[in-house]
Amino acid sequence: MAGVTKSQVFIGDTTLRDGEQTAGVVFTVKEKISIARQLDAMGVHELECGIPAMGEEERDSIRALVALGLSARLITWNRAVVPDIEASIACGVEAVDISLSVSDIMIEHKINKSRDFVKEQLKRALCFAKQNGLYVCVGGEDASRADSDFLIELMQIAQTNGADRFRFCDTLGILDPFAMFEKVGRLRAAVPGLDIEVHTHNDLGLATANALAGVRGGASYISTTVNGLGERAGNAALEEVVMALKVACGIDVGIDTRRFQSVSRLVGRASNREVPPWKAVVGERVFSHESGLHADGVLKDPKNYEGFTPEEVGLKRHIVAGKHSGTNGIVESYRQIGIPISREEAQELMDKVRSTAQRIKGPLAPMDLVKLHKRRGVSLAA
C-alpha cells in the first residue's frame, strides 16, 4: 500500500496470558502450542505466555512453549516478587514482565501498602531479574489512573536498575485516545531512554484506538490479543491493531496479515468464544455486500467500498442477494450460480428478490434464486 513504511513498532501478544484470563476461558497445552506456532509463523514479535506462579501445570505448559524454539520472544507475567521470578526462571524463559500496582487506589486499597513500598518492591524484583540475565518489562498495572510524576519516578528507577521497557496499562479501559496520547507523551519525554509498551482494555470500545494513540505518543510496543480476548470486555485485538496501523497510520509492523483469519478461528474455538460475523477485520461477513449501490460499486472496483482487500486478512468477498439488492448485484448473484441473466431480467426479478428476503427475513440462498428464476420462466412462457 502506498504510504506504508516499515517501523519499529513491536507487537507483544498476550492471548496466552490476558486472553486466557477471560473469565471461564481455559486453553489446553495443545491449543497453546497451536496458537503460539501460528502467532510465531505470522511474525508476532513477542508472546506473553503464562503465569509461572500459578503452579506446576502452568509451568509445564510454559516449558512446552519454550521447547518449541520459536522466533518470537516468550515472556511471562509475574508479580514484582522474587518467588514469582524464580518460578519463571524455572520455566526457561528469558524475559519477564514484573508487575507493580501503581495507582494510589490500588496501592492503598488492594495491596494495602505505600508508594515507598512499591519503589522498594521494584528495585528488589528488578535487580533480582537482571542478576539472572533476564529481559525485563516493568508492568505498571492501573498506570492510567496513577499520578504521572510517580510513574516517572518509577520509570527512572526502572531505567537506572536495567529495565528494558515499561508497560503502561489502561487496566480498566477508561482512557480516551487524547488522554492516552498526552499521558504516554509525557512519560516518553521525561524518560526518553526506556521503551514504552501500551496495554489497553476495551471496556469503552476504545482499546485499539488507545493503542494507536499510545504509539503516536511515543510507545514502541503494543500489547494485543487475538479477537480482542481478555479480562472483561477484552484487550486491543491483534488483527485490528495491525490493520489499523497499516491502513490508518501507514505503519507496517511486518506481520503476515493473511493468516489472521486462521488464527482468529483457532482462538475462537479454543476459547469457546466464537467470532461474531461482523467482528472488525476477521468476521466472516465483513466483506459481504448486499445494498444495491455498494454491490455495484464493489463490482466495478472493490476500492469503492473496501479499505483493504479480503485476501489481505485471509477472508473472501461475498455479493449477497437480499432486501436491499440492486440490478447489478442480482446479475452477479445469478452469475455466481451459473445462470447468466441480463440487467432487464434482473430488474424484473427485483421485486420478487425483495419480497422473498422480507418473507424469510434474510438473504436468498442459491436455491431461492433458482426457484425465482424458474417461476419467472414459466410465467413468461405461459
Ligand X SMILES: CC(=O)SCCNC(=O)CCNC(=O)[C@H](O)C(C)(C)COP(=O)(O)OP(=O)(O)OC[C@H]1O[C@@H](n2cnc3c(N)ncnc32)[C@H](O)[C@@H]1OP(=O)(O)O
Task: Give residues in contact with ligand X (CB under 6 A).
Answer: 18, 21, 51, 53-54, 77, 79-81, 99-101, 110-111, 141, 171, 231
Place of cell 424484473: 348
Residue 237: helix, strand or coil by DSSP?
Answer: strand
Instruction: Assign 132 to helix, strand or coil.
Output: coil
Q: Which amino acid is at 239?
A: E
- Burial pattern 109-129, b for ≥16 Cβ within 10 A else e, equals eeeeeebeebeebbeebbebb
Query: Does 199 participate in binding ligand AKG (rule CB under 6 A)?
Result: yes
Nearer to ligand AKG, 136 or 275 (CB): 136
C-alpha to C-alpha distance for 306 and 281, rounded to whole angstroms: 11
Contacts to ligand AKG from residues 64-103, by CB under 6 A:
97, 99
Binding to ligand AKG by residue 165, rule CB under 6 A?
no
Smallest distance from the beta carbon of 176 to ligand X, in angstroms?
20
Q: Considering the complex, state which of residue 199 and residue 323 has its C-beta at the smaller distance from ligand AKG.
A: 199
To the nearest whole angstrom, how small is the minimum distance from the Cβ of residue 247 to ligand AKG? 26
Q: Beta strand 221-224 with 195-200: parallel, antiparallel or unpaired?
A: parallel
Between residues 108 and 274, which has the closer beta carbon with respect to ligand X? 108
For residue 63, the minimal CB distance to ligand X (Å) is: 17
- Check binding of 197 to ligand AKG (CB under 6 A): no
Neighbours of 324 (CB within 10 A): 17
Single out the residue of 13, 18, 20, 58 in contact with ligand AKG (rule: CB under 6 A): 18
In the complex, the smallest distance separating the C-beta of residue 147 from ligand X, rounded to whole angstroms, is 17
In the list ligand X, ligand AKG, none, the entry touching 51 (Cβ below 5 to 8 angstroms by class) is: ligand X
**DSSP string spanning 138-172?**
EEEETGGGS-HHHHHHHHHHHHHTT--EEEEEETT
97: partner contacted, choices ligand AKG, ligand X, none (Cβ within 5-8 A by kind): ligand AKG
Return d(Cα 316, Cα 306) in angstroms, integer. Answer: 12
Q: List residues binding ligand AKG (CB under 6 A).
A: 18, 97, 99, 139, 141, 167, 169, 171, 199, 201
